Amino acid sequence: MHRRQLLRSAGLAVALIAGAATAAQADTLDKIKKDGVVVMANGGAYPPFGYVENGTMVGFDIDLGNEVARRLGVQPKWEKIDFSGLIPALNSKRVDMLVTAMTWTADRAQRITFSTPYYNSGIAGGAKPAAHIVKAGDIAGKVVAVQIGSAGERFVRDLGTAKEVKTYNDFLLAFADVEAGRADVVVNTLPTVRYNAARRPSKLAVSETWDKRDVGINTRMDDARLLEAVNAILADLKREGFLDKLDAKWFQ
């Protein structure tokens, strides 16, 4: 009898451990479907991908995220988080996914997953025409303005030729410092530099693209089913021309 009780207790312990493991690995996609809400994060300071206008988040990424939520059959809930805090917010489960023009890097890919690309871009610079910033080598010895945690910052630091790297939480503040002469060149992905250069009175000259970058939606490393669902939706959006329409709306 004693042995039987021990076996029963051992079986119960195994069941409890298995149940705890299952709970710890609760599927995010199932949770989203059950709650009827997907929590998405965006930096909110990176026009035209995502920014605040009249107190509301707008942009390419916001339109994209809202459509992804619609096709998942749930409501979107947006969190505006400084770019440097986006990956910690995702991995701490504060949010379910990032839809924030995150470009793929090897370092980021070790911490979060990337969907199939929804935008192809590259690093470029914006400067006053007299600065003659055309190639990546032209930023050597210059004061370079970048957004903290961005692909532009990583590119400039890896290049290692700038006289000074000035960092900003908000991309437009970096842009404005170049306009004001407090920095020589602002570096980020081409669409964002080009979009803002065309819409601001200073009309900074935009360089050629210095490399190629893929932009994707991000989930946690253990959220394989959610990533699979997002990739299926992105494939449909590409096939249906939805992504081309977003490009025309926000970049042309």
Instruction: Report the distance separating Cα 221 and Cα 49, nearest Å.
Output: 24
Express each pLDDT in 214-238 by its tens digit: 999 999 999 999 999 999 999 999 9
pLDDT band at 251 (very low <50, low <70, confident <90, very high): confident
Q: Please determine, for residue 55, whether its predicted confidence score (pLDDT) is greater than 60.
A: yes
Q: What is the DSSP letter of 191?
A: H
Give the pLDDT of residue 16: 41
Give the pLDDT of residue 22: 39
Mean pLDDT of the chain: 90
Q: Please determine, for residue 2, whether its predicted confidence score (pLDDT) is greater than 70.
A: no
- Model pTM? 0.77
Give the pLDDT of residue 53: 94
Sign of CA dihedral 191, 192, 193, 198: positive
Q: Please determine, for residue 44, whether its predicted confidence score (pLDDT) is greater than 60.
A: yes
Express each pLDDT in 129-183 by its tens digit: 999 999 999 999 999 999 998 889 999 999 999 999 999 999 999 999 999 999 9
Q: What string of DSSP letters covers 57-91?
A: EESHHHHHHHHHHHHHTSEEEEEE--GGGHHHHHH
Give the pLDDT of residue 12: 42
Kindly list the distances between the CA atom of residue 90 and the CA atoms of 42, 60, 220, in Å, as whole numbers in the listed order: 11, 20, 7
Half-sphere exposure of 236 (CA within 13 A, CB side): 11
Give the pLDDT of residue 193: 93
pLDDT band at 203 (very low <50, low <70, confident <90, very high): confident
Quick one: what percent of the chain has pLDDT higher than 70? 90
What percent of the residues of the chain are helix, what percent strand, and what percent coil, each to the nearest 5?
45, 25, 30
Instruction: Report the distance separating Cα 144 and Cα 164, nearest Å.
Output: 6
Give the pLDDT of residue 21: 36
Q: How many CB atoms lie within 10 A of CB 78?
A: 21
81-109 average pLDDT score: 95
Q: Please determine, for residue 123, whether its predicted confidence score (pLDDT) is greater than 50.
A: yes
Give the pLDDT of residue 26: 63
Q: Please determine, for residue 199, whether its predicted confidence score (pLDDT) is greater than 90.
A: no
